[in-house]
Amino acid sequence: MIDPDDATDSALEQRTRPSRRPLLLVAVAAAALIGFGFVLIGGLDENIVYFVTPTELLAKGSAAYDAPVRLGGQVAPGSVSWHADALDLRFRMTDGTGDVEVHSAVAPPQMFRDGIGVIVEGRLTRAGVFESDNLMVKHSNEYRAPPEGHAPEDVYRSLIREGAP
Amino acid sequence: MIRTLAGAAIVAALISAVLGTLAAVAGARLRRTTLVRAAERAVFANFWLMTLANLAMVYALVTHDFSVSYVAQVGSRSTPLFFTIISLWSALEGSILFWGWVLSAYTAAAVWLHRGRLGTLVPYATATMLAVAAFFFILLVGPANPFALVSPAPLDGPGPNPLLQNHILMAIHPPFLYLGYVGMTVPFAFAIGALLSGRLDAEWIRATRRWTVVAWAFLSLAIMLGMWWSYEVLGWGGYWAWDPVENASFMPWLTATAFLHSVMVEERRGMLKVWNLSLIIATFLLTILGTFLTRSGIVSSVHAFSEGPIGMYFLVFIVLVTVFSVALLAGRSSLLGGEGRLDSPVSRETAFLVNNLLLTAFTFTVLLGTLFPLVAEAFRGVKVSVGAPFFNRMTLPLIMGLLFLVGVGPALPWRRTPPGHLRERFLLPLVVALAVLGLSLALGSRDPYALLAFTFGGFALSVNLGEFVFGTRARMRAQGEAAPLALVRLVRSNSRRYGGFTAHIGVLLLAIGVAASSAGRVERQATLRAGESMSIEGYEVRLRNISAWEEPQRFVVAAHVDVLRGGEAIGGLDPRLNFYGGSDQPITTPAVRSRPHEDLYLTLIAFERDGSSATVAAVVEPLVGWIWVGGVIVFLGALLSAVPFERKRVVVGAAAEPLDPEADALETAGAAR
């Protein structure tokens, strides 16, 4: 497909010079690359965070303690205890079969409520409580009608009346 | 009507792209000027056809024509006009349509500026760009058709993704990103053209470098704007999370940055030809990979729209481009012998080589961290995430090395360093660096990486600023010019060089801003009743009240907060939650008090439904503003280095190089008309 004569329209001058320098350079670069590859794999090994459900977490037994994971499930209805003044949140996360008690020292987002899907990042302590560093409400970008009584107009009507600017 | 018109335009564009590709290749192989001219006409036709299709979409959006599938997907009668127009790029199909327009514009510009020059290189490059365009037009005709019929047409639509209509930056960040991303197609086409025509001379380097700089400038600005958007909208007080989408935009930036440096070695010393071509090809492949990651729905984010067959198209395209490029590189390796060699380990060349090694390692790290979760899920069936700890641990040493080089590299001469040179050039920067280190320690900074970043940053800033000072002084002495005039003339005399230093200064400001704001970040949360306050870093944040109101497209809840310092009110901030389209999922809208030395950043996390209390997060971050300023300086510096000031376009090889003798006659005839 490539016409060798094409080369003639280049102003390029070919020079083939026997030399060991480039070979050495390539060898050094390759060694550096392989070394760096090992460092990378090591770094990955130590910093991967697995995504698990409560059942999967509990199935790990004592191996689950103090290992950073992302835990995903639903907020068990009626289990939420939130002390706004102390910024202390406790709830049970369930996936239908297993459930884990979660504690967080940061405020839950506005959408947080019974039954909603959440993901927490953190680790299971030896006391059997999951200490969360970060809590995210799971939501989809596709629009879905909010459940009964949760449309913003319904919920915040009182605010409009009282605090209109 | 509008659907038929736009659909026809896209199909016509596809046909003309395919025919144009064939004509350009045939014209270059058979040396037929008429065929090459036909391909050029296809390029310009494509530009007008894509312009038409994009205008048709904007028209359909503005007139709320919900029979057009894309409008039914992202349109809404309640969305303000401005956000309706920019929703052109707020979902998959529209963004591919816009991509097609940007690509056709770049192709037209490149062909217009280079036609009739560089021998058969330009026809081959034209063919490459048209082939890439054909791929995107296939997407538009098939899996990403924005003009599909919706029947019966709905009366109203859901509107664009709330996150994308919450901030003005959404109007600016995506177009710049496209200009950067798509712009990398031009240097790629020139690389393929060079390989096919066997022409890798100085003019090839000049043209390719300039197009890369232009795309790089836009990409740099777009990445910074994306960080800024994340900061202003997402409400966590950060701007970079090593999210796959951020990584996707960052990887081609890294390889393009490597190219912009190593191409200078090729220019000066004739070395690294294969390497430079590989970097350009890698940059283009990474832009396509990034588009695949963000558009296929394989990673979830605000950029990933929905799952569909489109991912397969991208994978096939990536494989085809990779195989073709590697085969071409291998087949042409005889052309690519190096001419020069390294003379000394302490030289500008070595600095560039190390720079390239670090940037390549950086790219590999980001690529591995980004793809690993996908690979793990595909092959081992486990869901894992590779988060900031991995990226920070792996890349911070590389970043420190790069910061060191930004300081050392510009001051090193080519080939070898004469004795005494280092002391002369580095004494003052060293003093500055130590002073910065002392100051940082005195201000309480203890993070080792932040301290290193400040020290190297101070060193490199004084070296790069020093280039301007020395040059200006020399001119003042030699020409007797006043300082401002000498500075302007200095920059104009070698805008490429001084544009480069300007970009360095921008990158350094950005790096210092990132180091300071991540190491010095302080965050507090509190649930406040009206009149209550929390204190953070000398600020007192006091909740006045909460209010809510309805706007046509959204419902707003705002906390009104007074900020005090030393008992004196210094301003008010209103962090908000916006609810779009009846969704109960609020979009946080932080309120930021930005000052050169630090930002106070407030987010409304939650509120009591009766308005009695609000949970507010407050973050204080030093020097965040430097990041945005640095990003703009990088952009301006890069543009400066792309603009030829004194050396007009009459440089070497500017004379048209006809493919065949007839062409001369054609050219003359064309000129006469």
> What residue in B sits closest to A84 (Cα-Cα)?
B527
pLDDT digits (tens, 9 = 90+) for B512-545: 999 999 999 999 999 999 999 999 999 999 999 9
Q: Say yes or no for a CB contact (<8 Å) between B341 and A110.
A: no
Report which secondary-structure segment, H or E, holds B332. Answer: none
Half-sphere exposure of residue A141: CA atoms within 13 angstroms, side-chain side? 19
Q: CA distances (Å), A132 to each of A66, B45, B404, in order?
A: 12, 57, 38
Q: CA distances (Å), B480 to each of B263, B471, B474, B484, B486, in order?
A: 35, 13, 9, 12, 9
Residue A7, amino acid: A
Q: Say yes or no for a CB contact (<8 Å) between A22 and B361.
A: no
Residue B122, amino acid: V
Interchain CB contact of B644 with A (< 8 Å):
no
**Which pLDDT value is given to residue B672?**
37
**Which pLDDT value is given to residue A148?**
56
Interchain CB contact of A123 with B (< 8 Å):
no
From the list B383, B525, B582, which residue is nearest A107 (CB)? Answer: B525
Q: Say yes or no for a CB contact (<8 Å) between B557 and A155.
A: no
- Tally C-beta pairs within 8 A across A and B: 173
Query: How close A82 comes to chain B (CA, Å)?
Result: 11
Chain A residues inside the 8 Å CB shell of B393: 43, 47
Interchain CB contact of A43 with B (< 8 Å):
yes
Tokens of residue B342, six digits: 């390294």
Count other C-beta atoms under 10 Å from residue B152's C-beta. 7
Chain B residues inside the 8 Å CB shell of A51: 382-385
Q: Say yes or no for a CB contact (<8 Å) between B548 and A106.
A: no
**Which pLDDT value is given to residue B582?**
64
Bridge partners (DSSP) of residue B582 are none
How far apart CA B359 and CA B487 sit, in angstroms, is 32
Chain A residues inside the 8 Å CB shell of B158: 143
Report which secondary-structure segment, H or E, holds B261. Answer: helix B244-269
- Cα angle B449, B454, B459 (rounded to 5 degrees) comes to 125
Residue B239 has what DSSP assignment?
Answer: S
Interchain CB contact of A67 with B (< 8 Å):
no
Burial class from Cβ neighbours inside 10 Å (0-12, 13-18, 19+) for residue A18 reads exposed
Chain B residues inside the 8 Å CB shell of A70: 385
Q: Which of residues 355-394 of B touch A (CB under 8 A)?
A: 357, 361, 364-365, 368-369, 372, 376, 382-387, 389-390, 393-394
Could you tell me the pLDDT band of residue A163, with boundaries at 50, 70 and 90?
A: very low
Interchain CB contact of B344 with A (< 8 Å):
no
Q: What is the pTM of this model?
A: 0.89
Length of chain A counted residue by residue: 165
Interchain CB contact of B397 with A (< 8 Å):
no
Q: Which of residues 575-604 of B touch A (CB under 8 A)?
A: 577, 579, 581-586
Bridge partners (DSSP) of residue B524 are B618
Chain B residues inside the 8 Å CB shell of A60: none
Q: Say yes or no for a CB contact (<8 Å) between A15 and B339.
A: yes
Q: Which of residues 299-328 of B touch A (CB under 8 A)?
A: 302, 305-306
Q: Residues B314, B290: contact at Cβ < 8 Å?
A: no
For residue B362, the Cα-to-chain-centroid distance in whole angstroms is 17
Interchain CB contact of A65 with B (< 8 Å):
no
Q: CA distances (Å), B476 to each of B313, B469, B484, in order?
A: 59, 10, 10
Q: Residues B640, B495: contact at Cβ < 8 Å?
A: yes
Q: Which of B91, B96, B108 is nearest to B158 (CA)?
A: B91
Query: How close A57 comes to chain B (CA, Å)?
Result: 13
SS3 B318: helix
Interchain CB contact of A146 with B (< 8 Å):
yes
Query: How close A21 comes to chain B (CA, Å)?
Result: 8
Low-confidence residues of chain B: pLDDT under 70: 297-308, 335-340, 582, 645-673
**Which pLDDT value is given to residue A10?**
38
Q: Tell whether the torsion through CA atoms of B379, B382, B388 and B389 is positive or negative.
A: negative
Q: Say yes or no for a CB contact (<8 Å) between A141 and B334.
A: no
> What residue in A sits closest to B338 (Cα-Cα)?
A15
Q: Say yes or no for a CB contact (<8 Å) between B548 and A159.
A: yes
Q: Residues B342, B350: contact at Cβ < 8 Å?
A: yes
Query: How close A42 comes to chain B (CA, Å)?
Result: 10
Length of chain B counted residue by residue: 673
SS3 A134: strand
Query: How close A126 comes to chain B (CA, Å)?
Result: 23
Residue carrying the six token digits 């899907």: A117
What is the distance between the terminal CA atoms of chain A, rounded to a whole angstrom? 73
Residue B548, amino acid: A
How far apart CA B402 and CA B358 sit, in angstroms, is 7
Tokens of residue B289, six digits: 């990979």
Count other C-beta atoms under 10 Å from residue B566's C-beta. 8
Query: How close A161 comes to chain B (CA, Å)?
Result: 8
Q: Say yes or no for a CB contact (<8 Å) between B387 and A44.
A: no
Question: Is cis: bond before B187, omega within 30 of 0?
Answer: no
Could you tell me the pLDDT band of residue A3, with boundaries at 50, 70 and 90?
A: very low
Tokens of residue A156, six digits: 């915040």
Residue A65 has what DSSP assignment?
Answer: B
- Cα angle B167, B168, B174 (rounded to 5 degrees) comes to 100
**Which pLDDT value is given to residue B379?**
83
Q: Say yes or no for a CB contact (<8 Å) between A49 and B386.
A: yes
Q: Residues B153, B66: contact at Cβ < 8 Å?
A: yes
SS3 A98: coil
Residue B149 has what DSSP assignment?
Answer: B
From the list A9, A33, A48, which residue is nearest B198 (CB)? Answer: A9
Count other C-beta atoms under 10 Å from residue A35's C-beta. 10
How far apart CA B138 and CA B142 sit, in angstroms, is 6
SS3 B277: helix
Q: Say yes or no for a CB contact (<8 Å) between A49 and B158.
A: no
Q: Residues B561, B540: contact at Cβ < 8 Å?
A: no
Q: Which of B255, B104, B96 is nearest to B191 (CA)?
A: B255
Chain A residues inside the 8 Å CB shell of B366: none
Q: Say yes or no for a CB contact (<8 Å) between A143 and B385.
A: no
**Which pLDDT value is given to residue B21?**
96
Sheet containing B591-594: give its strands across: B522-529, B613-622, B598-607, B591-594
Interchain CB contact of B236 with A (< 8 Å):
no
Query: How close A119 comes to chain B (CA, Å)?
Result: 13
Count other C-beta atoms under 10 Å from residue A19's C-beta. 10
Q: Tell whether the torsion through CA atoms of B576, B159, B290 and B254 is positive or negative.
A: negative
Count other C-beta atoms under 10 Å from residue B293's C-beta. 24
Count other C-beta atoms under 10 Å from residue A102's C-beta. 25
